[in-house]
Structure 1
Amino acid sequence: MGAIEAKLAELGVTLPDAPAPAANYVPFVQVGDIVYISGQISMNADGLIQGKLGDDMDVDAGAAAARTCAIGLLAQLKAACGGDIERLVRVVKLTGFVNSTADFTEQPKVINGASDFLVEALGDKGRHARSAVSAAALPLGVAVEIEGIFQIA
């Protein structure tokens, strides 16, 4: 077991199998040493994590939903690396979309759930550039969707 897998295990995280795309797109594209991963929606073993920030979901619940997106990104990254997530050089950038009301302004605090998890799990490799934006609605009513760009060896 490599260092990343060991740290994930220490955090109680087992990466799920990367889900197949739900429409006519691919889950990731590799160009040179950069992997672009399609948006991962908030879901856990119980299913979709749905809600609208500023209405029926608070920031802590939104951050927990964002964390599940980060786990989904790592699962897709592992698949992109042929099962060897230790090939990760660094997380380059995340773009987080938060299903939120028009007057909700704490999208960065929600996406911190993903950012904080990636730094905790990956150390300096997990530090990244980021955008956190509001969306009037997200697919299937999920609370959060996050896409990512990663550098691999």
Structure 2
Amino acid sequence: MRKPLGVIPWLVLTLSVLGVVVSAYLTYEHFTAGTTLACPETGVVNCMKVTSSKYSELLGIPVAVLGLLFFVGMTALSLPALWRTPSPWPSRLRLAGVVTGVVFVLYLVWAELFRINAICLWCTVVHGLTLVLFALVVIRIALPPLED
């Protein structure tokens, strides 16, 4: 009989897939210089200003691509087989991933608020997903294992 997963692994998988979708959209917009971000271009909320700023790349790599890679990795690490494995490595990699993600989110929010002076709604969705993933992964690690 397979070990039960509980709700947290399924939430992590679902949110990771949602993150892939939003990050793929932001990546598409980055490379096409599109204006279909469905986000105002005036005032504090200005996706175009954020996604075309110098902070939209890190070492020449678009942060949207980095976000896409993060969520693809989290999706892979959140497959049911990797939650059930007796190996500690998937759990450690998930934790390292979400910690890295949160640190990067803090940097990006700082850049939006104090350097770009604008907020991207789509980026905020990605930031929120990352923070919730962090919380869920940490909670799951803190919980006792589920019994059959």
Higher normalized strand content (fraction of residues): 1
TM-score normalised over the length of structure 2? 0.30
Structure of greater Rg: 2
TM-score normalised over the length of structure 1? 0.29
